[in-house]
């Protein structure tokens, strides 16, 4: 928890004022038993109503002051803890935004979600409790013991002996409960991960009638979480009864021995009443201390998990030579690039092997291959979503690792396989990469992406509100909006990662024709499954198992690349392939 102290500093005034007011509340609470003793000894025993009345009024005033200082403490503690939690959430979100894909893959999205919500709430609540109880509990405990000892040393020693027993019991409870709190958070990660995965794929689940199967899978992780939560809750549950049992036993001994002292006039009855009140205050403070220790044990686990995220360094570091990179880009070169998701250079773990590739301004480079051949992996290296394991990628002769990420990615427009849209209007989604874009620019991008016509037919046009992930649009409509979003920025390098799979052939043909004029001064990398999508490419790369097994134009690959020929035959068939191949060769 102390490791998060940097997020406490902006609120040091509130953190100082809260405990100061709490000291005032404790002071007034400690006065009450002495005033009660005075009423009994000087008022009740002596039949002096004036003493009872005056001391009673004084007790009312002390109670009111205690109330006011307590409320003030709560207000300042709440102000500090809520802002503290908000700052940590914001810091976590900002940190996650800087993560590379490797970082996100390492933590898992479900765990990151837990850390930003449940773990932050744990440390936030602990801070609230600490500002209220860290001063109150020890002050009330120490103050009550001191006042009790001042009233009667013998009874005070009984109280001290009981406290030693309680300290030992609490130490044992916390020692065994701490590992369970760590396990609770880990199991909660698993629950969130399963929920997130199921909600993201709910359509697939329903389409394949697998709701019962998914329910069983969730039940397993939910039961694991429940079981470990129950185990940890047992330690919390037995904490209060044990403290009550030991303190009540102490109270019985004190009443028995104190009554004996009163009987033999070694102690006044009012002092015994006050002593019992101090014992009750000690009980109250002990319950608060034990609760604080349990909360501290829980929150320390959460604080460590938060610090793991905040101290993690992005796997991809920023470059420093952005001003030297030209715009628009003239040349992109892959120089013996190999890549492994694990970062290992072992051959059996490489997703890409020794890639050599060069693209120039105005060229369209198509990448084709079987599923899992490394097509998407290759283009994700260009904007440094991942960094190469070996070799280098050079933009106009400069290693892209030397270029600041923002400067590099502003040159690149990327359309991913999954057409992810945000909640909001269609206009906001298209202008996501260029918020200051005018309506004319937005519409021009939509026209090129073949999206303008269907958007115009919607009741609210470009102001149409989209649900989460664009659920109120078809797959083809989402793809066209994603394409318009990338085209709006007029990138030097356009990456289209199989982003026309949901488009019909006619719409795809119109899109390719529109892109020819728009991207004539840019590089285009096109990943496609259909041969018809890559016929007009200047250069076609054929990937197999992470290696380039063919490169050239369509006509050249039809003559010298067996893998390309197999893909061609699988899509057109033997007879039609022969005819289409002849026609495409003539057109090229």
Query: Which CATH number is correct for 418-490, 3.40.50.300, 3.90.79.10, 1.20.140.10, 3.40.50.620?
Result: 3.40.50.300
Distance of CA 370 to the CA centre of its chain: 35
What pLDDT score was predicted for residue 333?
92
Q: What CA–CA distance (Å, rounded) separates 373 from 357?
A: 16
The domain 2-311 having CATH identifier 1.10.730.10: the answer here is: no
Nearest-5° angle of CA 323, CA 328, CA 329?
85
Nearest to 378 by CA among 205, 265, 268, 498: 498
Q: What CA–CA distance (Å, rounded) separates 473 from 469?
A: 9
Same fold? 2-311, 323-411+495-587: no
Helix axis angle, 439-448 to 475-488, nearest 10°:
120
Q: Is 459 exposed, middle or buried (0-12, 13-18, 19+ CB in 10 A)?
A: exposed
Name, in order, each residue with C-beta under 8 angstroms of 585's C-beta and a sequence gap of 6 or more. 554, 555, 558
DSSP string, 524-563: EEEE-S-GGGTTT-SEEEEEETTEEEEEE-HHHHHHH-HH
Nearest to 451 by CA among 379, 380, 395, 502: 502
Architecture of domain 323-411+495-587: 3-Layer(aba) Sandwich (3.40)
| pLDDT per residue as tens, the chain (588 positions) | 667 878 888 888 888 888 888 888 878 877 777 777 777 777 776 677 787 788 888 888 888 988 888 888 888 888 888 899 889 989 999 888 888 777 887 787 777 888 888 888 888 888 888 887 777 777 777 887 887 787 778 887 888 888 888 778 877 777 777 677 778 777 887 887 787 777 767 766 766 677 788 888 888 888 888 888 888 777 767 767 777 788 778 878 888 888 878 777 777 777 777 788 877 777 777 777 777 776 777 788 788 888 888 888 877 877 776 554 456 678 899 999 999 887 776 767 788 998 999 999 888 999 998 888 888 899 999 988 888 989 999 998 888 888 888 888 888 888 887 778 888 899 998 998 888 889 999 999 999 888 898 899 988 889 988 877 777 788 888 888 988 998 888 888 999 888 877 777 788 888 888 887 777 788 889 988 878 888 888 899 999 888 999 999 888 888 888 888 888 888 876 545 454 445 444 444
Residue 425 sits at φ, ψ, to 5 deg, of: -85, 165
Query: What own/partner pairs with CB < 8 Å and gap ≥ 24 does 465-470 have?
Result: 465/423, 465/424, 465/425, 466/421, 466/422, 466/423, 466/424, 466/425, 466/426, 466/429, 467/423, 468/423, 469/420, 469/421, 470/419, 470/420, 470/421, 470/429
Task: Please state the domain extents for the chain.
Answer: 2-311, 323-411+495-587, 418-490
> Which tens digit of pLDDT belongs to each residue from 291-330?
777 677 778 878 888 888 888 887 787 777 655 445 667 8
The residues facing 539 across adjacent strands are 365
């Amino acid at each position: 928890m102390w490791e998060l102290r940097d997020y406490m500093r902006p609120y040091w005034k509130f953190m100082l004022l809260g405990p100061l007011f709490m000291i005032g509340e404790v002071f007034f609470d400690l006065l009450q038993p002495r005033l009660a003793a005075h009423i009994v000894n000087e008022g009740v025993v002596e039949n002096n109503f004036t003493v009872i009345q005056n001391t009673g009024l004084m007790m009312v005033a002390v109670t009111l002051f205690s109330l006011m200082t307590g409320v003030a403490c709560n207000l300042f503690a709440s102000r500090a803890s809520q802002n503290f939690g908000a700052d940590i959430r914001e810091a976590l979100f900002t940190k996650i935004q800087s993560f590379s894909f490797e970082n996100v893959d390492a933590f898992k999205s479900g765990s990151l979600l837990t850390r930003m919500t449940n773990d932050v709430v744990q440390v936030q609540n602990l801070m609230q409790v600490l500002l209220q109880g860290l001063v109150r509990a020890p002050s009330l405990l120490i103050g009550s013991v001191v006042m009790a000892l001042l009233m009667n040393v013998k009874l005070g020693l009984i109280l001290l002996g009981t406290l030693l027993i309680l300290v030992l019991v609490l130490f044992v409870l916390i020692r065994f409960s701490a590992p369970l709190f760590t396990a609770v958070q880990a199991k909660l990660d698993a629950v969130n991960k399963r929920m997130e995965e199921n909600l993201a794929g709910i359509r697939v689940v329903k389409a394949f009638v697998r709701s019962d199967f998914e329910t069983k899978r969730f039940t397993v992780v939910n039961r694991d979480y429940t079981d470990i939560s129950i185990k940890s809750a047992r330690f919390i549950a037995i904490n209060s009864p044990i403290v009550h049992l030991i303190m009540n036993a102490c109270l019985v001994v004190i009443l028995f021995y104190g009554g004996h002292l009163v009987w033999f006039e070694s102690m006044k009855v009012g002092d015994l009443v006050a002593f019992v009140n101090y014992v009750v205050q000690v009980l109250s403070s002990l319950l608060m201390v034990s609760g604080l220790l349990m909360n501290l044990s829980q929150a320390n686990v959460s604080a460590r998990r938060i610090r793991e995220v905040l101290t993690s360094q992005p796997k991809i570091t920023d470059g420093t030579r952005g001003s030297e990179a030209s715009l628009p880009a003239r040349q992109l070169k892959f120089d013996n690039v190999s890549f492994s998701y694990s970062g290992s250079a072992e051959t059996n773990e490489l997703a890409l092997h020794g890639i050599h590739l060069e693209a120039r301004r105005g060229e369209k480079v198509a990448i084709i291959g079987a599923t899992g051949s490394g097509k998407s992996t290759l283009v994700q290296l260009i904007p440094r979503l991942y960094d190469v394991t070996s070799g280098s990628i050079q933009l106009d002769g400069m290693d892209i690792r030397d270029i600041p990420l923002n400067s590099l990615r502003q040159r690149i427009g990327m359309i991913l396989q999954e057409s992810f849209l945000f909640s909001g209007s269609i206009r906001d989604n298209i202008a996501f990469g260029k918020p200051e874009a005018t309506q004319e620019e937005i519409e021009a991008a939509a026209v090129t992406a073949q999206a303008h016509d269907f958007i115009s037919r919607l009741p609210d046009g470009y102001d149409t509100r989209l649900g989460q992930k664009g659920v109120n649009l078809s797959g083809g409509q989402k793809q066209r909006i994603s394409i318009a979003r990338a085209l709006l920025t007029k990138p030097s390098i356009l990456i289209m990662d199989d982003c026309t799979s949901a488009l019909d052939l006619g719409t795809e043909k119109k899109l390719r024709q529109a892109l020819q004029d728009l991207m004539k001064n840019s590089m285009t990398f096109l990943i496609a499954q259909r041969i018809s999508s890559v016929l007009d490419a200047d250069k076609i790369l054929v990937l197999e198992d992470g290696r380039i097994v063919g490169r050239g134009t369509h006509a050249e690959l039809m003559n010298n690349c067996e893998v390309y020929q197999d893909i061609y035959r699988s899509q057109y068939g033997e007879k039609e392939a022969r005819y289409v191949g002849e026609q495409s060769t003539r057109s090229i």
